[in-house]
Structure formats: structure tokens, C-alpha cells
Amino acid sequence: MRLLIILGTRPEMIKLAPIIRECKKHTGIEAVVCSTGQHDTLLDGLAVFFEISIDIALHARLPGQSLTSLTIRCLEQIHPVIEQQQPDFVMVQGDTATAMSGALAAFQQNIPVVHVEAGLRTYDIQSPFPEEMYRRLITLATQAHMAPTRTAVRNLVHEGVDRKRIFCTGNTSIDALQWAIDRQPPPTSDEPLVLVTGHRRENIGNGLYSLCKAIRELAARHKVKFIWPLHPNPHVASSVQDFLGGSSVQLIPPAEYKTFVGLLQRAVLVITDSGGVQEEAVALGKPVLITRVTTERAEAIEHGAALLVGTDEDNIIQQAEAILSGSLTCENGRAIYGNGNAAGRIVHHLSQLEADFLP
Ligand code: UDP
């Protein structure tokens, strides 16, 4: 089976790396990895860390480009790759412009699509923006839906997707996390910290401003160190720097994945709007405040492992202080997103798909 794996951003690389590695163990699967370069500067280091390689490197990204330009360039550049590679399947992950374009380009050339992390929904098309739209479009183009949780399976069934085409696999983020934990150097510090990240487009502006004010206030009131690795999106990074530069919050450039996992391990509280960070924090038993108004990862909230706090300054402060003072605990969701064997399951299902789709 010839499998073309299309990725472009940091989270796609992190979550597809375990599958790429797993494919190498199967002589029956020839996996070709194509990057659109959506997060161009971050991917090479991740490839080295996960001991995988990018076979085809595209250059879809331009500085300051619009979502439309990114999508057009992804589509234009992915199309000839599919034409040349003639894959039996195209695999995409998640809900990025790269994933949506990869799925659409494959659909247009009649190549079956395998979607990893399928079925996540908020059912609010504006939030997260544009990801909720992208993931729904990808579902329409997909023949094999690798759903990370039972909730994701239910969402797809509810939308009329054939149950036989949905596979409940766990999330490969936990496989990647395990890889990173196994490779952690001895800690240079075990000082506890509060880890903050923020990058959602729908939060840019008022939401991000209010989050920054809350973090500034919390960092001023509490002795514990606050660390915020900035997102590669320059828009977000510069806003956060404007709001928090000169405060006691430690702003650092995007952390290498291994380093980031080390920070997560030391965290007493994680405040984030990131999907992947929520999964990792929950898997490590860290309390999480999700700074969004909707979430497609409701399982963590249902299990009491995370709280949805929105971006209201007072609410963030109140909930963070409750956790820091020990009056509120939310630490019991460790296995919600899988137990580190999702990639193995996905590759197993792939070999079964061969019988259904290939002559
Ligand atoms: N991450 C990282 N360095 C950082 C912040 C995050 O390596 O400084 C990793 C994190 O461990 C997770 C992924 O990036 O696996 C999450 O990416 P992001 O928040 O950009 O996207 P999302 O998960 O929301 O799609």
C-alpha cells in the first residue's frame, strides 16, 4: 500500500510522527511524507526528534498571508504531488489549512482519504475558527475516520457517517508524549510552574488581552513562576509581548517539543486554548483551565480533569487561584485520550482498509 501523509504544522507533525514510525515497521506500507511548510521553521527539529524524515517539502507559506492565500497555495502545491505519487490513500490529521487542502486535493483526484483525529466538534462553526469548518469539510472527503474517543465516534455517527468507516483509536498525541517522556534528560530544575499558552484566532484581540491581564495579575499575586512559550503565529506572539513584556511572566520563544513536555511535567497548573496541550496535560494529571468558550474535547471536562473558563479576566483569576490554593482539584482524567497505542491501532486498521479499497 502506498500512503501519502500530508502535514504542515507543529501539532500535525507531533501527532503523525508515531504513525510514520509505525508504518516503517510494516513492509506492506510504503509511507511518503509531504510537508506543506505551514509552520516551516518548527518541523525539521521535530523530524529529527522523532527520527523520521520529510520526503517532499513544499513551500505553501508566505509571510503575512491570508487564510485564502495559504489554502490556494496548499491546494496548488499538493495537487501535483498526488499526481506524481499516485498513492492508494492520502492521510491527513486534525483541522488545519494543510489538512483540509490535502483532503480536498485527494478527493478531487479520487484518492481515498484517511483522517486522523476525526470527529472532533464544537458544533459552533465560528469556534474554533477556522478549524471547525475545516474538520467538517475533511469529514465529507474522508473514507476512513480514525476517531480518538467514543465522543468523536458518536459525533460522526450522528452526522450520518457509515459506522463501518469509523475506527476508535485513541489519540496519537499520547503516543508522542510517551516518546518524549522516555527521552527526557534528567531535570535541571524541579521548581513548580504555571504553564500558559494561547493562540486561537477567535481569541486574538479582546480575548487575548483579557487573558494577558489575568495572567499578569496572577503572576504578581503568586510566588510560583509563570512561563508562556509564545506561539509561532507572529500576530499572537507580538500581542502577548505587547501586553506582558516587562511583567513577571516569563515569555519564551516556541519551546522545542521535548522541552515543552519537560515544562508540562513540572506544571502545577496549565492555562491554555490549545487542543494538543489539553490532551497532554490531562494525560499527565495536570489541572487545566481551557481559555475558550467552546471545546471539542469535552471529555476532560466531563471527567473533572479540566475547566472551561473562557477569556473573562475575573473568572480565569478565580479558577486559577482555587487550583493554586488547593481548594479545587481536577486531576483524574489520565487515560481519556488514549494510552499510547493509537498509532499501532491506526496502522492495523489501514491494513484492513486495503482489502476494501484496493483491487
Ligand atoms: N508545543 C510545543 N512547544 C510549545 C508549545 C506547544 O512543542 O512551545 C506542542 C504541544 O506539546 C502540543 C502541540 O505543540 O503537542 C500543540 O500545538 P498547538 O497548541 O500549536 O496547536 P493545537 O493543538 O491547538 O492544534
**What distance in Å separates the CA atoms of residue 55 and residue 78, rounded to the nearest whole number?**
13
The string of pLDDT tens digits covering residues 289-328 is 999 999 999 999 999 999 999 999 999 999 999 999 998 8
**Is 115 noted as a catalytic residue in this protein?**
no
Cα(150) to ligand 1 centroid in Å equals 23
**Is 158 noted as a catalytic residue in this protein?**
no
The string of pLDDT tens digits covering residues 78-123 is 999 999 999 999 999 999 999 999 999 999 999 999 999 999 999 9
pLDDT at position 195 is 98
Q: Is the pTM of this model over 0.75?
A: yes
pLDDT at position 203 is 85
Question: What stretch of H or E contains 45?
Answer: helix 40-50
Which of 29 and 188 is assigned the larger pLDDT? 29
Atom of ligand 1 nearest to the CA of 254: 8
**Is 190 noted as a catalytic residue in this protein?**
no
Output the DSSP codes for 213-281: HHHHHHHHH-SSEEEEEPPS-HHHHHHHHHHHTTSSSEEESPPPHHHHHHHHHHEEEEEE--HHHHHHH
315 φ, ψ to 5°? -65, -45
Residue of 277, 282, 286, 292 to mutate, ligand 1, most atoms within 8 A of C-beta: 277
359 pLDDT band, cuts 50/70/90, is low
- Grid coordinates in use for 182? 522516555
Topology of the domain covering 189-325? Rossmann fold (3.40.50)
CATH 3.40.50.2000 placement within the chain? 2-170+341-357, 189-325
For atom 7 of ligand 1, which residue has the closest CA? 257
**What distance in Å separates the CA atoms of residue 288 and residue 301, rounded to the nearest whole number?**
9
pLDDT at position 233 is 83
**What distance in Å separates the CA atoms of residue 344 and residue 347, rounded to the nearest whole number?**
5
192 pLDDT band, cuts 50/70/90, is very high
Question: What stretch of H or E contains 199?
Answer: none
39 φ, ψ to 5°? -110, 70
Residue in the structure block whose three cell numbers are 469509523: 166
The superfamily in CATH containing domain 2-170+341-357 is Glycogen Phosphorylase B; (3.40.50.2000)
**Is 131 noted as a catalytic residue in this protein?**
yes
pLDDT at position 235 is 83
| Dihedral sign from CA coordinates of 160, 165, 170, 171 | negative
Give the count of beta carbons closer than 10 Å to the beta carbon of residue 222: 16
**Pocket flag, ligand 1, residue 207 (CB < 6 Å):** no
355 pLDDT band, cuts 50/70/90, is confident
Cα(70) to ligand 1 centroid in Å equals 20
Which residue among the candidates 131, 132, 273, 296 is catalytic per the annotation?
Answer: 131
The string of pLDDT tens digits covering residues 216-268 is 999 999 999 999 999 988 888 999 999 999 999 999 999 999 999 999 999 99
Residue of 7, 9, 10, 197 to mutate, ligand 1, most atoms within 8 A of C-beta: 10
**Pocket flag, ligand 1, residue 228 (CB < 6 Å):** no
**Mean pLDDT confidence for 137-149:** 98
